[in-house]
């Protein structure tokens, strides 16, 4: 398998040894490169996801979707991006201006910080904390502050209702999502993301012998709770178009709205990516224990392709569910979390602990 560490080491070597830049500046330049790469990857992935969603949504609805701008409508996202950058930003009369401007940044920062910790391929990650999972859960919660601030500072009753609902929903579903991830931590024995993926060398977590049962349940729970986290799918009441006219981001226009839109798509990607890393083996190719030749062939497919392929499958499930089901009401949503999902995830954690100790 191609280890991306070779490339990063080469760049480091180039800057530090061959050109001879002092250590401080080498690090600074490397940070800037990483930042630029991740920000562009973030934006480009979001554009691709927007296009994919529109096409898949259209196919579900027996229609074609965008097909005029470029062949098969491929340039549609770019046209949309240019449009949203050129839009006028309408300033609201009596809003709390500082918080109003600050809110989208919280959402985007939470999203980018999570994005940066994901392992995209062997050696292809920006940060590799030894408390990786813990860091992911902590940082993805930053988005909630952004949503509450947006609803409050817009000086609008609708946005306030939407933000309240969203806050309640996100805080509740964090718990189930975290417990599902903890289940895998119990199985792997480590929180470090690259270690979790390495340990799935022989077989992916979801097929891992007897532990497959609690892992599979945790996978389903994580996918459900993760989507509730991203305000997508059947859980999009806070931004329910037909009820509150776009909820907490009603008063945002132009690129400020673009931030929320971007963050929503990327959160969907991130939820799928975390699910892939932790349950489906991340960038690890499909290895079947005992089939050496098969495993060898699987290794030839680059790890980045494996990662994005698995994420694509999870994203497809997300889109499928979103365009099929109606949305849950807020009290049904919260009842579902606290009375059904949370007890199941706690029991599941217990079950996993038993399986790991006894087997």
Partner 1 sequence: MDNKIKERILSLAPEAIIEETQFISATIPSDKLRAVALALRNDKDMQFDYLQDLIGMDWGETLGVIYNIFSTPNNQKHVVLKTSTSEKESPELYTVSDIWDSATLYEREVYDLIGIRFINHPGLRRLFLRADWNGHPLRKDYDADPAKNPVPLINQTVEDMETTETLTLTNEGVVGSSFQLFGEKEYIVNMGPQHPATHGVLHLRISLEGETVNKIDPNFGYIHRGVEKMCESYTYPQILHLTDRLDYLSGTMNRHAVCLCVEKAIGLEVPERAHYIRTIMDELTRIASHLLGWGCMCMDMGSITAFVYGMRDREKIMDIFEESAGGRLMANYNVIGGVAKDIHPNFLQRVRDFIPYMRKMLKEYHILFTENPIARGRMKGIGFLTTEQAISYGVTGPAGRASGWMNDVRKIEPYAAYDKIKFEPMMRTEGGTFERYIVRLDEVEESLKMLEQLVDNMPEGDFCAKTKAIIRIPEGEYFQRVENARGDFGVFISSKGDKSPYRIKFRTPCMTLVSALSPITCGEKLADLVMIGASLDYVIPCIDR
Chain positions contacting partner 1, by CB under 8 A? 60-63, 157-158, 161, 234, 236-237, 240-243, 245, 323-332
Q: Closest distance between partner 1 and the C-beta of residue 37, in Å? A: 36
CA dist 284 and 295 (Å) reads 11
The residue with tokens 């050109």 is 19
- Of residues 3 and 241, the one with the C-beta less far from partner 1: 241
Q: How many angstroms from the chain centroid is the CA of residue 317?
A: 14
Please choose, from the candidates 45, 129, 132, 119, the residue with its C-alpha nearest in 3D space to the C-alpha of residue 277: 119
Q: Which residues touch 247 (CB under 8 Å, ≥6 apart)? A: 151, 158, 159, 161, 162, 163, 165, 166, 238, 239, 240
CA dist 247 and 61 (Å) reads 25
The residue with tokens 């602990």 is 353
- Of residues 121 and 238, the one with the C-beta less far from partner 1: 238
Q: Which two tokens stand for residue 242?
A: 């037909």
- Of residues 159 and 276, the one with the C-beta less far from partner 1: 159
Q: Which two tokens stand for residue 257?
A: 């709205």
CB-based contact 231:239 (threshold 8 Å): yes
Q: Which helix (H) or strand (E) holds 153?
A: helix 142-153
Q: Which residues pair with 121 in a beta bridge?
A: 124
Please choose, from the candidates 34, 218, 229, the residue with its C-alpha nearest in 3D space to the C-alpha of residue 120: 34
Q: Closest distance between partner 1 and the C-beta of residue 248, in Å? A: 15
CB-based contact 234:325 (threshold 8 Å): yes
Q: Can you give 35-83 as a three-state secondary structure string?
A: HHHHHHHHHHHHHHHHHHHHHHHHHHCCCCCCCCCCHHHCCHHHHHHHH
């Amino acid at each position: 398998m191609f280890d991306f560490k070779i490339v990063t080491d080469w760049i480091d070597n180039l800057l530090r040894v061959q050109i001879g830049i002092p250590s401080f500046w080498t690090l600074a330049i490397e940070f800037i490169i990483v930042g630029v790469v991740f920000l562009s990857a973030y934006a480009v992935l979001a554009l691709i996801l927007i296009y994919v969603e529109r096409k898949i949504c259209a196919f579900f609805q027996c229609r074609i979707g965008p097909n005029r701008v470029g062949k098969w409508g491929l340039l549609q996202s770019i046209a949309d991006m240019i449009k949203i950058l050129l839009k006028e930003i309408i300033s609201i009369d009596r809003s709390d201006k500082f918080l109003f401007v600050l809110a989208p940044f919280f959402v985007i920062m939470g999203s980018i910080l999570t994005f940066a910790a994901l392992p995209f391929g062997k050696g292809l990650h920006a940060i590799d904390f030894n408390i990786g999972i813990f860091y992911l859960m902590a940082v993805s919660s930053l988005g909630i502050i952004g949503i509450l601030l947006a609803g409050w500072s817009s000086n609008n009753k609708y946005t306030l209702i939407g933000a309240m609902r969203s806050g309640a929903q996100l805080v509740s579903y964090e718990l189930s999502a975290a417990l599902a991830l903890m289940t895998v931590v119990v199985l792997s024995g480590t929180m470090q993301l690259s270690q979790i993926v390495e340990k799935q060398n022989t077989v992916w977590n979801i097929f891992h012998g007897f532990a497959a049962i609690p892992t599979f349940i945790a996978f389903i729970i994580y996918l459900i709770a993760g989507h509730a986290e991203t305000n997508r799918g059947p859980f999009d009441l806070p931004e329910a178009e037909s009820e509150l006219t776009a909820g907490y981001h009603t008063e945002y226009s132009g690129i400020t709205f673009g931030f929320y839109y971007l963050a929503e798509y990327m959160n969907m990607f991130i939820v799928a990516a975390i699910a892939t890393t932790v349950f489906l083996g991340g960038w690890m190719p499909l290895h079947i224990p005992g089939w050496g030749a098969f495993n060898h062939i699987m290794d030839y497919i680059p790890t980045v392709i494996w990662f994005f392929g698995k994420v694509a499958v999870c994203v497809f499930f997300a889109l499928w569910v979103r365009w099929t089901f109606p949305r849950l009401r807020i009290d049904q949503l919260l009842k579902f979390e606290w009375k059904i999902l949370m007890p199941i995830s706690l029991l599941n954690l217990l079950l996993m602990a038993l399986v790991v100790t006894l087997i």
